[in-house]
Chains A and B, each alone.
Chain A
Amino acid sequence: MCLGIPAKITELHSNKQGKVDYLGTKVQVDFSLVDEVKINDWVIVHAGFAIAKLNETEAQETMALLREYAQFVSTIDKSKKQNE
């Protein structure tokens, strides 16, 4: 029920209605609950409403953190193997 999908805005009309692209499908969305959105922005869509904007900088930071972790673990692995 609280499922929200990230989707990219493709159309915006003056009445806060518009469309997003979700995996190639165009979906009708109401944008009344988010402000200052523009075409090509990513939003989280839940039950026909955009409920949040996706923050690109934060998304990049999470990805960077994950890459760091993966790196870190592979160095542990290597040193383990060398010790064996």
Chain B
Amino acid sequence: MNELRNRQVISSLLEIIAHKTATLSNLPIRIMEVCGTHTMSIHRHGLRPLLEERGIEMLSGPGCPVCITPDAYHEAAIKLVSTNSNIILATFGDMTRVPTRVGSLQTAIPAAGSQVKIVYSPIESLNLAKAHPEQEVVFFGVGFETTIPSIALCVKKAKEERLSNYSLLSALWIIPPPLRAIVSSQDTKIDAFLYPGHVSAIIGEAPYQFLADEFNIPGAITGFEPADILLAISSLLDLIKKGRAEVINEYRRVVAPQGNPQALQIMAEMLVEKDAFWRGLGYIPQSGLKLKDNYQEYDAEIKFSLEISPEETHLPGCRCGEVLRGKISPSSCPLFGQACTPASPQGPCMVSFEGACLAFYKYDYQN
């Protein structure tokens, strides 16, 4: 599959894109890449300026789960581990570095016998619970549809194995609702979407159809190699030219039209939708998931009576919220590259490997 990064292929695709935009009025064409992994890939392969020269402006979207999780969740996790003894708070690495008003999980001082543990897979958190029956293991699970089935499956296994010292602090978000919120707000002009490849591997094509039907915006599901991204953009330009809004799938090698039935089944069995608060976007109806009532004993919010009331908080000056809506580019934030760097991030968008600020900093920022 080396073709997907082959220079000749990339330059051919760029040439085709230039041909197509040359016939369009209304430039620049603005395309939102919803997913943070797309953002990273676009920057890493230097596609952004190349596309800009050809009349296409790429906007980063809300597709970085670490970035959109409000501070209140982190603050609750910090409080949990610093005021309760014998807790193992397990979470993904990026989550430990998000700065809040009360510090980060990395700087938190755990209570006696408690600790914060970085895991790569939710399975590891389950194994921790088995290995440490005398401690409470709380998995601070964050993710979109890509990760949610795996997290849910761990809770299911915990119940099957009657593990009573395991629970989930859930920061689970679903992708289609914020897209509705973004286009409805009319904050930014968006001509087309690149839909996230691995979220789509789970949910399939249908959940994006409303953007075509109700908002007349075309979109393409695509993979993460440069050729995948350019191929999708090329197909989107055809749709724009014809004035047709459709959902197309350029990642059929991974994404089946109906998604992943087993994964969807696990989600439906264990989780219910709830209104949820997104950083930068506020409350969005039915945009988050929580465990169903019959799994309540595994819900850390209930088990430890956590009070999480999210609001729009950020360290002074951080404009992550606007970055996540595609309203400003990271370099328009006055702290970018100054007070805010990967070594001392002032907001989650500079922490996460998928954060737009980090992507800009790593690949486009010259001192």
Where the two chains meet, the residues of A that have a C-beta atom closer than 8 Å to any C-beta of B are 1-4, 6, 30, 32-35, 44, 46-49, 51-52, 54-56, 58-59, 61-63, 65-67, 69-70, 72-74, 76
How far does the alpha carbon of A33 sit from the alpha carbon of B255 in the complex, in Å?
A: 14
Among B60-68, B101-109, B322-330, the one that faces the other chain is B60-68
From A35, A47, A56, A76, B150 is in contact (CB under 8 Å) with A47
Given contacts A32-B153, A55-B254, A58-B253, contact A48 B15 (CB under 8 A): no
Residue on B nearest A59 in the bound complex, by CB: B253
How far does the alpha carbon of A21 sit from the alpha carbon of B113 in the complex, in Å?
A: 37
Given contacts A1-B94, A2-B35, A33-B260, contact A51 B198 (CB under 8 A): yes
How far does the alpha carbon of A35 sit from the alpha carbon of B124 in the complex, in Å?
A: 22
Task: Apart from A1-B143, A44-B254, A54-B254, list 18 A-B contacts with CB within 8 A.
Answer: A1-B354, A2-B65, A2-B143, A2-B147, A4-B198, A6-B1, A30-B123, A30-B153, A46-B150, A47-B122, A51-B150, A51-B198, A58-B253, A59-B1, A62-B4, A62-B228, A69-B12, A73-B15
From A30, A47, A63, A74, B120 is in contact (CB under 8 Å) with A47
Can you list 26 residue pairs at the A/B interface with Cβ under 8 Å?
A: A1-B37, A1-B92, A1-B353, A1-B354, A2-B35, A2-B144, A2-B197, A2-B199, A30-B121, A33-B149, A33-B262, A33-B263, A34-B260, A46-B146, A48-B122, A49-B123, A51-B150, A51-B202, A51-B263, A58-B252, A62-B4, A62-B253, A63-B3, A65-B231, A66-B4, A69-B9
Chain B residues, Cβ within 8 Å of A2: 35-37, 63, 65, 143-144, 146-147, 196-199, 354
* CB–CB A48/B149 < 8 A: no
* CB–CB A44/B121 < 8 A: no
Chain A residues, Cβ within 8 Å of B276: none
* CB–CB B149/A73 < 8 A: no
From A55, A72, A73, A76, B252 is in contact (CB under 8 Å) with A55
Flag whether B13 is at the interface (Cβ < 8 A).
Answer: yes
Residue on B nearest A48 in the bound complex, by CB: B121
Q: Which of B304-357 contact A (CB under 8 A)?
A: 352-354
Chain B residues, Cβ within 8 Å of A51: 146, 149-150, 198, 201-202, 260, 263
Q: Determine which residue in A44, A52, A55, A67 has the highest number of CB atoms from chain B within 10 A of its CB, and name it.
A: A52
* CB–CB A49/B15 < 8 A: no
Flag whether B142 is at the interface (Cβ < 8 A).
Answer: yes
Chain A residues, Cβ within 8 Å of B201: 4, 44, 51-52
Chain B residues, Cβ within 8 Å of A74: 12
How far does the alpha carbon of A68 sit from the alpha carbon of B80 in the complex, in Å?
A: 57
Flag whether B50 is at the interface (Cβ < 8 A).
Answer: no
Flag whether B182 is at the interface (Cβ < 8 A).
Answer: no
Given contacts A1-B94, A33-B260, A65-B231, contact A72 B254 (CB under 8 A): no
Chain A residues, Cβ within 8 Å of B252: 55, 58, 61-62
Q: Which of B161-219 contact A (CB under 8 A)?
A: 196-199, 201-202
How far, in Å, is B345 (CB) from chain A's closest CB? 16
Chain A residues, Cβ within 8 Å of B153: 30, 32-33, 49
How far, in Å, is B113 (CB) from chain A's closest CB? 27
How far does the alpha carbon of A6 sit from the alpha carbon of B253 in the complex, in Å?
A: 11
* CB–CB B142/A33 < 8 A: no
How far does the alpha carbon of A76 sit from the alpha carbon of B197 in the complex, in Å?
A: 32
